[in-house]
Amino acid sequence: MSDNVKTPDPDVTLVRELLEANRRSKTMFAAVSLGIFDALKDQPKTLATLAAELNCNADALERLLDANIGVALLEKSSAGYKNRSAANKYLTSTSPQRLTGYIKYSNDVLWKLWGHLEDAVREGKHRWTQVYGWDGPIFTNFFRDEVAKRDFLFGMHGYGLLSSPEVVAAFDLSRFKTICDLGGATGHLTIAACERYPSMRGIVFDLAAAAPLAREIVGESKVADRIQIVEGDFFADELPKADLYAVGRILHDWSEVKIKLLLKRIYDRLPTGGGLLIAEKLLNADKTGPGWAQMQSLNMLVCTEGKERTLAEYEALLKSAGFKTVDGRTTNSPLDATLAVK
């Protein structure tokens, strides 16, 4: 080896990796959007076959396919292009573990909002009006039509399948009789709790628009006979009776004023000894990590009223609502667990 070969500068390597990070994300997003992973879920296919099936320019498609090899989602052999395991498991629209809903939401909605992050930082406000000319209740947009609703809910469902089993295992919840998941979407957390605790019953409480999909998903589970779907707005309607409430990826959506309102409603409805299980990714005490929570907090900035918090920040909110004890546990999933007891 020549003595003139220089070791790469780690600083410039870091900057280059960050410079290309959004390109790698978009490479996956575009492949999902175009249906590439679905087209390859059963067998390898040649470039010519894929170009014809997907109605794409062959030269341009080849570049995208090869780039997905570069990000470790596809591979290529003499038989053609083929999905790798991550693509089959998480990026095909028929996989039970799919994340395609959240990927489509990220590509179609969040990508544009993140394009105005600088303005969000200057003003401290989400970018819906700037990007879409629209303002109002955030989740109205997610449920604007049936396709958008299912994409959003299935996106949440995909993350729920990864996180909910670990969240309900973070604490021993066997003493609780009924868990009510507020804003429970497809019921993934309630299903996970009822599967882990055989004597527990569950309630999925969410807006009427979310109920049909919740009934569909819960109905396919092994614990459907112990789970009830109840329609309602947790800010306005009476909460179902339970001794354990859960909020998963809910508190990070809202302002502190609205969080305090919701926590007070939950506290007043709980019996003494009842609990509240919070599923959110916790920031480190000094907020220097973890990276996922930091990125999600910026995501909340551009698209909601909320943010991610430390355990101490959640503890302050919970104790101001009246809760006696608060404990937090980190998990290996996209969400951590916090348990507050009345």
User: What sign does the dihedral 105-111-112-113 (CA atoms) show?
Assistant: positive
Catalytic residue flag (residue 252): yes
- Is residue 181 within 8 A of residue 244, CB to CB? The reply is no
Tell me the C-alpha to C-alpha distance, in Å, between residue 39 and each of 45, 48, 216, 218, 253. Answer: 8, 13, 26, 29, 35
Q: What are the backbone angles phi and psi of residue 83, rounded to the nearest 5°?
A: -65, 140
Closest by Cα among 212, 208, 268, 258 to 238: 268
SS3 readout for 289-321: CCHHHHHHHHHHHHHCCCCCCEHHHHHHHHHHH
DSSP per residue over 103-145, as a string? Answer: HHHIIIIIHHHHTTHHHHHHHTS-SHHHHHS--S-HHHHHTSS
Among 126, 157, 188, 252, the one annotated catalytic = 252
Give catalytic residues, as residue numbers: 252
